[in-house]
Amino acid sequence: MTTLTKRRAIARGSLIVLLLLIFWIGSAIGWSFHSSSRENVQEKLAGGSSSSNGLTEPPPGMRAYKVVIDAGHGGHDPGATGASGDYERDYTLSLARKVFERLQDEPMLEPMLTRSDDTFIELEDRAAIANEWGADALISIHGNTYEDSSVEGTETLYMNKNSVQLAESMQHEMVKAMGFRDRGVKKQQLKVLSLTDMPSALIEIGYLTNGEQESRMRSSEGQAAAAEAIVDGLKQYFDIKEQQAGENSRETGKTEKEASPIKIYYNGAASDGKQTALTFDDGPDDVVTPEILDVLKENHIKATFFMLGSQAAAHPEMVKRIVDEGHAIGNHSWSHPRFEELSLDEAREQINDTQVELEEIAGVRPSLFRPPYGALDEENAELVHDMGLWIVNWSVDTMDWSGLSTPDIMDLVRDEIWPGGIILQHSSSGGGSNTVEALKQIITELGEEGYAFVTVPELLHLPDSQNGDL
């Protein structure tokens, strides 16, 4: 063997070793990437919540937001047939998987899919997956359809009031990314949205029946853009800032606060069944409140009264009657100010004076607080939380104070009610005159639909006072 051939042999040998090495590394990376994303899908589908791959761990002290990505239709339910003849179910699955994969790079967002293959899942089950996992948001992906193929555009649907902001973020980002006509954010009664406990939005990315839109939607570039839009919309919604290296330690205090906002209840869990809570604000008075109490007594219903300290002081006998008849009470401030305009000390006084007044009159120190106008900035929310009170708003606004007719009030109730809903009426004179008539119809109609009326503490599984275990 000459030196030359030897050198050649060595060179050839090392080349082979090198190639093998490259091939081995390549396949190892490819394999592990593939298997980890696959495992992840299955794990998430099974309802597991541990983040198995270290890449997606949120920064220390911060919690990731759990997001359910729901691919519309599937299996024997093909959804819309696109201009190309392809089905909606395949488009939604493909895009949902891309969103899921893209979310692996976002430490603050933890995704779960409702389906990762072409199977059919009942709408109830999609909502149940999200509810059981304790998701913070659900995004349902769809493509639209219409007999007239010229119709086009993006729209986002929501149902409950707590979902408006999420829907708006999604719509905004999707229109920007896809460049389709902005058909807006719409409220619509949809099962998958109505049964979820958390904010949820259904995006109709575009019209699959419009040839041009369909090809853009199905293209890999179009899907990457749509997936990015969903991720951006979520980050905007959860107010997640891009984390620059080194920025974390400096701003930990601030970002931690942003990452764990104080919970505000708008409704109970739909998974608890057909329950709803009747709530009455701004009272008590000696005109409307006794009528409301009579109706409730007649129907053996316990409700929740969010009272003003000033009104309680003026009508202590009514506070006593409310408590004696088994209703729950909450704090609605002393004089109904806008809390954003108060100093922290003023806010504390509004709440504390009312707690003291109610306890003096009826011996009950409420565990619930409802801010006037449902409005509370972050600082005040923290104050209320620190005072040991839960913040409760509502999901069904009867607008009774505005003088709306009973049929109009009933339309609102039918439109906004779902299992776990909290209904807002008012128990103060000078408001609308149809409150009591509407109340009777709400009780009759929702009763016929199988709703049980419970107090807010029952609905939300919260203690009904700060006095200890009552």
Footprint on this chain of Zn ion (rule: CB under 5 A) = 281-282, 372
Q: Kindly tell me which of 82 and 372 has the beta carbon lying closer to Zn ion.
A: 372
Neighbours of 19 (CB within 10 A): 10
8 three-state secondary structure: helix
Min CB(310)–Zn ion separation in Å: 12
DSSP state, residue 241: P
Judging by DSSP bridges, how do beta strands 452-453 and 275-283 pair with one another?
A: parallel
Rounded alpha-carbon distances, angstroms, from residue 271 to 131, 173, 195, 292: 7, 31, 8, 29
DSSP state, residue 54: G
DSSP state, residue 327: -
Catalytic residues: 281, 426
Judging by DSSP bridges, how do beta strands 154-158 and 200-207 pair with one another?
A: antiparallel
Min CB(278)–Zn ion separation in Å: 15
Q: Kindly tell me which of 171 and 428 has the beta carbon lying closer to Zn ion.
A: 428
80 touches 86 (CB < 8 A):
no
Residue with the shortest CB distance to Zn ion: 281
156 three-state secondary structure: strand
Min CB(390)–Zn ion separation in Å: 17
Q: Kindly tell me which of 183 and 332 has the beta carbon lying closer to Zn ion.
A: 332
Q: Kindly tell me which of 172 and 370 has the beta carbon lying closer to Zn ion.
A: 370
Structure tokens at 326: 């088994």
DSSP state, residue 365: -
Structure tokens at 38: 């696959």
Size of the chain in residues: 470
Min CB(407)–Zn ion separation in Å: 24
Min CB(315)–Zn ion separation in Å: 16
Closest to 73 in 3D by CA, of 97, 93, 44, 45: 93
Q: Kindly tell me which of 154 and 333 has the beta carbon lying closer to Zn ion.
A: 333
Min CB(338)–Zn ion separation in Å: 11
Pairwise CA distance, residues 133 & 48, whole Å? 8
Phi-psi region of 462 (alpha: psi -120 to 50; beta: other; left: phi over 0): beta
Q: Kindly tell me which of 282 and 416 has the beta carbon lying closer to Zn ion.
A: 282
